[in-house]
Amino acid sequence: MAKSKFEYVRSFETDDTCLRNCYIVVRLDGRNFHKFSEQHGFTKPNDNRALGLMTRSAQSVMEELEDIIIAYGQSDEFSFVFKRTSNWFKRRASKLMTHVASQFSSSYVFYWKEYFEEQPLLYPPSFDGRVVLYPTNRNLRDYLSWRQADCHINNLYNTVFWTLVQKGGLTTAQAEDRLKGTLAADKNEILFSEFDINYNNESALHRKGTTLLWKKHEETVIRRMKQPNAEEKEVPVTRSKRRVENLYCDIIGEQFWEEHPDILEEDN
Which residues form the interface with ligand DGT (CB under 6 A)? 29-34, 37, 42, 44, 46-47, 50-51, 75-76
Residue 29 touching Mg ion (CB under 5 A): yes
Helices then strands (H, E): number in the chain?
9, 6
For Mg ion, the binding residue among 22, 27, 30, 116 (CB under 5 A) is 30
Partner residues linked to 132 by β-bridges: 25
Cis peptide before 45 (omega within 30 of 0): yes
Binder of residue 42, out of ligand DGT, Mg ion, none (CB less than 5 to 8 A by kind): ligand DGT
Q: Which residues in the 232-251 window bind Mg ion by CB under 5 A?
A: none
| CB closer to ligand DGT, 141 vs 206 | 206
What's the longest Cα–Cα distance across the chain?
85
Contacts of 73 (CB under 8 A, 6+ apart): 54, 55, 58, 79, 209, 210, 212
Q: Which residues in the 69-88 window bind Mg ion by CB under 5 A?
A: 75-77
| CB closer to ligand DGT, 86 vs 105 | 105
Of the candidate spans 28-36, 43-51, 176-184, 223-231, the one that interacts with Mg ion by CB under 5 A turns out to be 28-36
Nearest to 148 by CA among 42, 45, 253: 253
Binder of residue 167, out of ligand DGT, Mg ion, none (CB less than 5 to 8 A by kind): none
CB 21 within 8 A of CB 125: no
| CB closer to ligand DGT, 67 vs 129 | 129
Residue 67 touching Mg ion (CB under 5 A): no
d(CA 157, CA 184): 8
| CB closer to ligand DGT, 33 vs 195 | 33
